[in-house]
């Protein structure tokens, strides 16, 4: 998380001082989600990214009302949800949408691999957020409706990790009233506005230049046509694509390291990897078994 994002969250939490009363005239949407006028703030906490599934950045609790759970984003925030893993994706969107996504990702990867500016990669991870260029597809190309976008922005469920309103601005609030004025209801109009910016972002990982991101789950993998007759080192994407293509994956937490291990062990294709700054046991990645679970 950037310092600017952390500063924004801190500023929001600071204007909601413990012991302060809410204004008498609250927006109707706040009252509809259980926030009472003139209620007293008893807690204001900057939650931040304490959990990858956490969407509430600032949690404000009251004497009588339901909590205000704010998802804070800078106007120029690039990502609304970063590095979605298989387990989380299935739990939030289901297997049917997963199958659509892995198919779309495989089509994109095979096309991208033939672009002159594409670097070597063996898998593609995903995020959701703002993006221009060719490494994206529109949200509704994969998802069925804007209700799914609500999960990206504010999370799933009713606990404190799932936000109930977004704050999207570069400006820090100077008062409780100003903060309330910049909050938005999580309704269809807000979601439609956010949908203009939020895309499905494809993130091909170059094993020669990236280390920690190789542990992220992939939504397509490189599949050789057949094993090679002898061990061969591959350093260029064009040479890799002569040997096979990108194909769909199962939701089994497959990552870039697993693919690289399989290519070397089963197909005699060696691709050098950037060394990680952390010590990771080689056995952690070896002998990964593909399955349909």
- How many residues in total does the chain contain? 293
Distance CA 242, CA 276 (A): 29
pLDDT at 163 over 50: yes
Confidence of residue 286 (pLDDT cuts 50, 70, 90): very low
CB atoms closer than 10 angstroms to residue 48: 17
Residue 55: per-residue pLDDT: 83
Mean pLDDT of 264-275: 95
Q: Are the beta carbons of 198 and 137 closer than 8 angstroms?
A: no
CA-to-CA distance for 43 and 62, rounded, in angstroms? 7
Mean pLDDT of 210-238: 96
* pLDDT for res 83: 85
CA distance 16 to 61: 10
Return the CA Rg of the chain.
22
For 30-57, write each residue's pLDDT tens digit: 999 999 999 999 999 998 666 666 789 9
- Regarding predicted confidence, which is higher, 145 or 226? 226
Neighbouring C-beta atoms of residue 192, cutoff 10 Å? 11
| pLDDT higher at 276 or 79 | 276
Contacts for 224-228: CB closer than 8 Å, 24+ residues apart: 224/263, 224/267, 224/269, 226/267, 227/266, 227/267, 227/268, 228/267, 228/268, 228/269
Average pLDDT value for residue range 93-102: 95
pLDDT in tens, 16-33: 999 999 999 999 999 999
Mean pLDDT of the chain: 88
With contact defined as beta carbons under 8 Å apart, do 57 and 70 qualify? yes
CA 249 to chain centroid, in Å, comes to 19
């Amino acid at each position: 998380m950037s310092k600017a994002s952390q500063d924004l969250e801190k500023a929001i939490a600071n204007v909601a001082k413990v012991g302060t009363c809410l204004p008498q005239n609250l927006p109707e949407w706040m009252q509809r989600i259980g926030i009472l006028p003139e209620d007293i703030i008893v807690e204001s906490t900057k939650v931040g990214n304490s959990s990858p599934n956490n969407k509430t950045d600032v949690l404000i609790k009251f004497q009588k009302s339901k909590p205000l759970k704010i998802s804070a984003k800078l106007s120029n925030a690039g990502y609304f949800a970063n590095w979605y893993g298989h387990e989380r994706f299935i739990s939030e969107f289901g297997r049917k949408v997963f199958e659509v996504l892995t198919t779309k990702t495989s089509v994109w990867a095979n096309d991208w691999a033939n672009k002159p500016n594409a670097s070597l990669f063996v898998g593609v991870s995903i995020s959701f957020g703002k993006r221009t260029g060719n490494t994206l597809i529109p949200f509704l190309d994969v998802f069925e409706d804007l209700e799914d976008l609500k999960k990206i922005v504010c999370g799933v469920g009713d606990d404190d990790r799932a936000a109930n309103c977004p704050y999207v601005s570069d400006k820090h609030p100077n008062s409780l009233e100003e903060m309330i004025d910049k909050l938005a209801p999580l309704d269809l109009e807000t979601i439609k506005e956010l949908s203009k910016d939020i895309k499905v972002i494809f993130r091909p990982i170059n094993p020669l230049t990236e280390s920690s991101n190789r542990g992220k789950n992939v939504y397509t993998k490189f599949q050789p046509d057949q094993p090679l007759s002898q061990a061969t080192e591959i350093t260029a994407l064009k040479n890799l694509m002569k040997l096979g293509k990108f194909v769909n994956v199962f939701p089994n937490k497959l990552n870039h390291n697993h693919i690289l291990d399989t290519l070397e062990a089963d197909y005699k294709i060696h691709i050098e990897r950037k060394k990680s700054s952390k010590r990771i046991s080689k056995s952690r990645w070896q002998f990964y078994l593909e399955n349909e679970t």
